[in-house]
Structure 1
Amino acid sequence: MAQKLGAACGLEDYALFLCNSGAEANENALKLASFHTGKSRVIAFKKAFHGRTSAAVAATDNPKIQAGVNKGLEVAFVPLNDLAAVEAEIAKGDVCAVIVEGIQGIAGIHVAEDAFLQGLDRLCRSSEVVLILDEIQSGYGRSGHFFAFEPSGIQPHIVTTAKGMGNGFPIGGVLISPEFKAEHGMLGTTFGGNYLACAAALGVLEVMEQQKLVENARALGRVLMDELKQLDGIREVRGRGLMIGLAFDAPVAPLRKALVDQYHIFTGVSSTNVIRLLPPLTLTEDMARYFINSLKALLKTP
């Protein structure tokens, strides 16, 4: 499993710790960063979402899902793509990790810019802070690259993954740079790496390679982004590959309902004014154009 995943994502020399979910992957990544540095503070980003377990939910910028027991971790939330704000927090000391999504999904599809990730990588290395790339939603081809951070050319200390990894079967993973020594007993999981989960994950990688699904996401993402930007009524189109956010000036609930009722198209949402598009990586050009034409028709409807 580790060899197959390493070859697919270009991180062949990274170790792989297998677990059961994205939240568990982030928990272990944060723990590993603290073990490695001997420090405890974390820098995360406004509107971030990293999971619903203890440290992962503490690093999520949403007080509604944080219970009292989740507030033991000290986390500083700074704006995405603001390197100066990260530097200012690191200067305060005791920072073990910066955790950032390759593309913020729950927040409404906000891309971590390549120049920002490059600067973040330099800053973390010079400050002996661990850089964790959360690719749980944006990974596994979703962005048109295996991992969304790839266009930046960096190699993070740790990469977490899940969601697309098992195509619906519960599995997560932590890719760990060879710079780290994860000692025996430092990380653990009851069901992580079980045979059935690994068989599902290997099957996913084989299908992705055979059907060239990463390339398909890149090509059709380009088609969708280019044509959606031409439609009147959409304030902003943002994203990469098949991870696209459509921002409107008004609540999108009526539009989403019309897409379902009239065209049987299901979409995601962020806050009240953003439609999130995360179609299957097996999307065809005909399907993409059906969506574009359906949305166009609805936007022209008085």
Structure 2
Amino acid sequence: MKLFDVYPLFDLNFIEAEGSFLWNDRNEKYLDLYGGHAVISIGHSHPTYVKMLTRQLHNIGFYSNSVRIPIQEEVAKQLGKLSGYEDYEFFMCNSGAEANENALKLASFHTNKKKVICFTKAFHGRTAAAVAATDNKKIIAPINETDNFIFLPFNEIEVLEDAFKNNEIAAVIIEGIQGVGGVQIPTTPFLQKIRTLCDRYQALLILDEIQSGYGRTGKFFAHQHANIKADIVTVAKGMGNGFPVGGVIISPEIEAKHGLLGTTFGGNYLACAASKAVLEVMESEKLMVNAKEMGDYLYQQLKEDEIIKEIRYQGLMFGIELKMPCAPFRNQLLQDFRILTGNASCPNTLRILPALNISKKELDVFISAFKTVSKLNIKKNEQILFC
């Protein structure tokens, strides 16, 4: 049997990792500025993370949700305290797509309605309802096609009210910051208008913070920059620092019933140990403060570069839109400087999603490499870029 070929792969085999660095099977060192799609939040192989997971594995790794698992309650309490959602409730699952699937189901159960507003360039996952709310027809199979999802233009306030007036809306789902869409940041007035309309029309606001949450933007959740509260928040990626874990943060207004949601592996002991480690390190090392400071530093160092058309960022979530396609630029950073970065659905956007404890010294390595590659490409493409 061979692997189902669905991933375009770099010819890299990493066998060791620490902090913001990876080593391959040739003992070559790489700087990781992508964290496997914003998953590595507290750095690779953080000592606290390794210690807590190892200790938990020695005790017990798994039992189902048919028994009490007190460590789940500990995670919920820590998460509530750090995120500012202390009066909400928490359901643990395994991934971001699963979190969004459960969030959409909860909204429909609670409102007894089925229409959902979502937005252009959105990405919410690849499962049934989550992929239907995703703005990419290439990954929506015929079985997932439905008219329950209404796509509106992102960051355009004017069209929102008509959509609510003309449909029975169960929920609005929106990313705190669109990641795959190229780090598109919702404006404060846009988010506040959605909140107002959800209240007026008895719809729920679902904030997908799977990539933009867990301290990445300098606040625990990106939507908190707009001073709003969601009815449901979905989390994953940075929550487990590499261990598969996701969750749904749920308003106390939404009633829980036995059998309403369920999962076999969600909230297992190891997932909880990973989640606890991340929260403890985030708090003790003040990683939200570092994310803001390092993000502002990176922006200041790059903002005048001639090859950049626009930088969209909050904290350590960066979309650097170039005046040329991103792919060759990204490949040069990888091949010539051994720096891992990401791309986006918009072909000119380079995505930077490093660990939240990255240092100025490590960012300087990237800044120097970026400027070198920029100069080479400006010289090579001067007539195309600046005609």
TM bucket normalised to smaller: over 0.9
- What is the SS of the residue equivalent to 1:5? helix
User: Per-residue deviation at 1:83?
Assistant: 2.0
What letter is aligned with 1:157? D
Q: How does 1:216-295 map onto structure 2 within 5 Å?
A: 216-270=290-344, 271-295=346-370
User: Per-residue deviation at 1:221?
Assistant: 0.5
Query: Which residue does 2:243 correspond to in 1?
Result: 169
Cα deviations by residue, 1:105-161 (Å, 9 ceiling, x for unpaired): 000100111221111111111111110000000001111111101111111100000
TM-score normalised by L of structure 1: 0.97
Give, in whole Å, the separation in 2 of the partners of 1:125 and 1:134.
18
Give, in whole Å, the separation in 2 of the partners of 1:91 and 1:227.
46
Give, in whole Å, the separation in 2 of the partners of 1:291 and 1:115.
34
Q: How does 1:191-230 map onto structure 2 within 5 Å?
A: 191-230=265-304
User: Per-residue deviation at 1:56?
Assistant: 0.3
Number of positions where the alignment pairs a residue of Structure 1 with one of Structure 2: 302
Give, in whole Å, the separation in 2 of the partners of 1:58 and 1:43.
11
More displaced 10-residue stretch of structure 1: 75-84 or 151-160: 75-84
Give, in whole Å, the separation in 2 of the partners of 1:131 and 1:168.
28
Match of 2:203 among 105, 115, 129: 129
Task: Check whether the contact 2:164–2:197 (CA below 8 A) recurs between aligned residues.
Answer: no
More displaced 10-residue stretch of structure 1: 110-119 or 46-55: 110-119
Give, in whole Å, the separation in 2 of the partners of 1:286 and 1:115.
37
What letter is aligned with 1:39? K
User: Per-residue deviation at 1:73?
Assistant: 5.3
Give, in whole Å, the separation in 2 of the partners of 1:16 and 1:70.
27
Give, in whole Å, the separation in 2 of the partners of 1:86 and 1:16.
29
Query: Which residue does 1:39 correspond to in 2?
Result: 113
- What is the SS of the residue equivalent to 2:222? coil
User: Per-residue deviation at 1:213?
Assistant: 1.1
Task: Check whether the contact 1:102–1:135 (CA below 8 A) recurs between aligned residues.
Answer: yes
Query: Which residue does 1:4 correspond to in 2?
Result: 78
What letter is aligned with 1:42? V
Match of 1:80 among 142, 150, 154: 154
Query: Which residue does 1:299 correspond to in 2?
Result: 374
User: Per-residue deviation at 1:238?
Assistant: 0.4
Give, in whole Å, the separation in 1 of the partners of 2:299 and 2:114.
40
Match of 2:123 among 31, 37, 49: 49
More displaced 10-residue stretch of structure 1: 3-12 or 218-227: 218-227
Give, in whole Å, the separation in 2 of the partners of 1:212 and 1:131.
29
TM-score normalised by L of structure 2: 0.76
- What is the SS of the residue equivalent to 1:133? strand
2:177 maps to 1:103: yes
What letter is aligned with 2:281? V
Give, in whole Å, the separation in 2 of the partners of 1:251 and 1:243.
20
Q: How does 1:145-156 map onto structure 2 within 5 Å?
A: 145-156=219-230
- What is the SS of the residue equivalent to 1:250? coil
Match of 2:92 among 14, 18, 21: 18
Give, in whole Å, the separation in 1 of the partners of 2:245 and 2:139.
23
What letter is aligned with 1:43? I
Task: Check whether the contact 1:32–1:182 (CA below 8 A) recurs between aligned residues.
Answer: no
C-alpha RMSD over aligned residues: 1.1
Give, in whole Å, the separation in 1 of the partners of 2:225 and 2:371.
31
Give, in whole Å, the separation in 2 of the partners of 1:248 and 1:89.
34
Cα deviations by residue, 1:208-244 (Å, 9 ceiling, x for unpaired): 1111111111110011122221111100000211110
User: Per-residue deviation at 1:274?
Assistant: 0.8
Going from structure 1 to structure 2, the CA distance change for 1:73 and 1:205 (only over 3 Å counts) comes to farther
User: Per-residue deviation at 1:249?
Assistant: 2.4
What letter is aligned with 2:353? L
What letter is aligned with 2:284? Q
Provide structure 2 residue ranges, at least 5 long, that are not aligned to the other structure.
Answer: 1-74, 380-387
Task: Check whether the contact 2:312–2:319 (CA below 8 A) recurs between aligned residues.
Answer: yes
- What is the SS of the residue equivalent to 1:218? helix
**Higher RCO (C-alpha 8 Å, min separation 6):** 2
What letter is aligned with 2:194? L
User: Where in structure 1 do 4 or more consecutive aligned residues deviate above 4 Å?
Assistant: none
Task: Check whether the contact 1:213–1:282 (CA below 8 A) recurs between aligned residues.
Answer: yes
Give, in whole Å, the separation in 2 of the partners of 1:239 and 1:73.
33
Cα deviations by residue, 1:171-222 (Å, 9 ceiling, x for unpaired): 1110011121122211111111111111110011111111111111111001
Cα deviations by residue, 1:253-297 (Å, 9 ceiling, x for unpaired): 221111112211111011321101111112100111221121112
Give, in whole Å, the separation in 1 of the partners of 2:270 and 2:375.
48
